[in-house]
Structure 1
Amino acid sequence: MDGVGDYDDRSSCYVQLTNPQPPKADPIWRGHTDGAIYTFVCVALTHSTIGTMRWMASNPIQRGPTAAQVAQEAFSRMRLDGAAIGSAPPAGAEGLVGLPVWLWTAQTPQTWGPQSTTAAAGDFSVTVTAKVKGIAWSMGDGTTITCTKPGTPYQQSFGKADSPDCGHRYTKVGTHTITATSTWTVDWTASTGETGTIPDTTRTSTSTARIGELQVVN
């Protein structure tokens, strides 16, 4: 049985990773997007061999850490930060009721992504990639807006226009605490062909908006 994989006592079959992997649209995946397809070669009582392919969340005869465990180890070494908040008016300056406030984050691998890191174990490696899918901006006035883009930095030439992708207008005067919660999605791919995800993780950062009222002079 050389060349057909390692022997699995539980199934009495030889098991190896199917290469190449069937496309994700193949029914053999049973709707899964993680794990991998493995070939099981079993010896029947008639001494003939029967080969089947099955989806498995991980290698059923994995020796040492699984790909998912290596992915977690790689993920633990990643630096994922909250938004590097930019705003117009900037923190500390006064804005006015009814005028647009622009919001954005500086785009770096740590504040928006994507960023990737790789870890190895035995004869395989796993690459983990993280990126922000959106930022929920709690504006301190009971309003939360969710932006799926990093936002557009304000320039004076924009005048009193609204941000094209991430902004707000206050209706109350006061100093409002802005809380930006970034949600990171994390995917991994192993050199064996296995894929998976790590649960979304969030990071938070804060700023302030000081809002006054327009004074009309007669």
Structure 2
Amino acid sequence: MAHHEDHRRPNEGLLIRGARATGALAVLFALLPSGMAYASGGDGGAHGCSDVDVCVDAGTPGSSGSGGSSGNGGGTGSSSGKGDGMCKLVDDSEIPCAPGYNPADRCFYQLMDPQPPSGPGHTDMNGADTSGPGAFYMKDCIVNDVGGIVWLTTPPATILPDPEELARQARDKMTLLGADIGSAPGPNSPGLVGVPVWLWNTKSDTTWGPNSATAAVPGLSVTATARVTKITYSMGDGGSVTCTTAGTPYKKSYGGKSSPDCGYRYTKVSTDQPGGKFTVTATSTWEITWQASTGAGGTLPAEVRTSTTTARVGELQVVN
């Protein structure tokens, strides 16, 4: 049985939080003329998240957020398609999330649809005159509870996160393991000096790939895909072999043939090793590429995973 080390990266530094501006709506009703009706659309507010302006597993407008092979799914997007969705936080809680983030004040702004009445006699929650050019926005801020419906003469500046940051978030959702090592002779079967040893990795999405996961914010999604490009087997006797395929599982019908793509021959016995066996360490190199919904793409630094097995090697004794 191969032993695995799981080196999944934690979401270090992503202390994600959200703020809901609720009481401000009551203030707005007091400022607007009586009988005024409006609809905010979506869930009635633009709720943001993250100290680094990235929402993990946020749903995209009108659809569901995507999860990786490890089963971490996103929230459901708005059926109205107006840009709301769910941000899945690091503590597995979820809050509504929306586009329209303004980095200047760390607030989200969502254009209201339909627009409340504007013009002479109509003001926003701050008493602003709405008789000139402009529009009503639902405002919600990360850093405090100030929010509600505001009138803006110029649309707020908005940004999307760096797609590579989302790619790293997608990578961190994956389960990437070392090889599930198969060998012939197996770890409990004695081999002989000079006799071919077959090595292979029992392929799965977590031991060979492809392994994919997606991270998204409204307006941008990034899918990262990981694949093993090589496995280096350190055989315990000072020698090693690097295989660029998963290897070929051994069958009895192959007899004493050598593996066509991943094999080794020992030149010394293992009797002086702990337990009388060599420790075989497999080091898998995972290549990670990413593709954004905007068409951008790239690669992330390779990830390395290890696993181990053992090999008992003896010497053929000739009897005179």
Judge same fold: TM > 0.5, yes or no: yes
Q: Aligned equivalents of 1:136 and 1:173: distance in 2?
A: 21
**Which amino acid counterpart does residue 70 of structure 1 have in structure 2?**
L
The residue aligned with 1:15 is none
**Residue 71 of structure 1 aligns to a residue in which SS?**
helix
Shift of 1:62: 7.2
Structure 2: stretches of 5+ with no match in the other structure = 1-156, 271-276
In structure 2, which of residues 167, 170, 182 is the aligned counterpart of residue 71 of structure 1? 167
**Residue 173 of structure 2 aligns to a residue in which SS?**
coil
**Residue 163 of structure 1 aligns to a residue in which SS?**
coil
Shift of 1:159: 0.6
The residue aligned with 2:295 is 193
Q: Which runs of 4+ in 1 moved over 3 A?
A: none
Shift of 1:129: 0.4
The residue aligned with 1:176 is 278
Shift of 1:201: 0.7
Q: Aligned equivalents of 1:176 and 1:74: distance in 2?
A: 37
Task: Point out the structure with the larger strand share.
Answer: 1
Structure 1: stretches of 5+ with no match in the other structure = 1-60
The residue aligned with 2:104 is none
**Which amino acid counterpart does residue 269 of structure 2 have in structure 1?**
V
TM-score (norm 1): 0.71
**Residue 178 of structure 1 aligns to a residue in which SS?**
strand
The residue aligned with 1:215 is 317
Shift of 1:63: 1.1
Distance change in 2, residues 1:88/1:122 (3 Å): same
Shift of 1:64: 3.9
In the alignment, is the contact (CA less than 8 A) between 2:160 and 2:220 conserved in 1? no
Distance change in 2, residues 1:186/1:159 (3 Å): same
The residue aligned with 2:230 is 134
TM-score (norm 2): 0.48
Instruction: State the superposition RMSD in angstroms.
Output: 1.2
What is the count of residue pairs matched by the alignment?
A: 158
1:156 equivalent to 2:258? Answer: no
Q: Aligned equivalents of 2:215 and 2:199: distance in 1?
A: 36
Shift of 1:104: 0.4
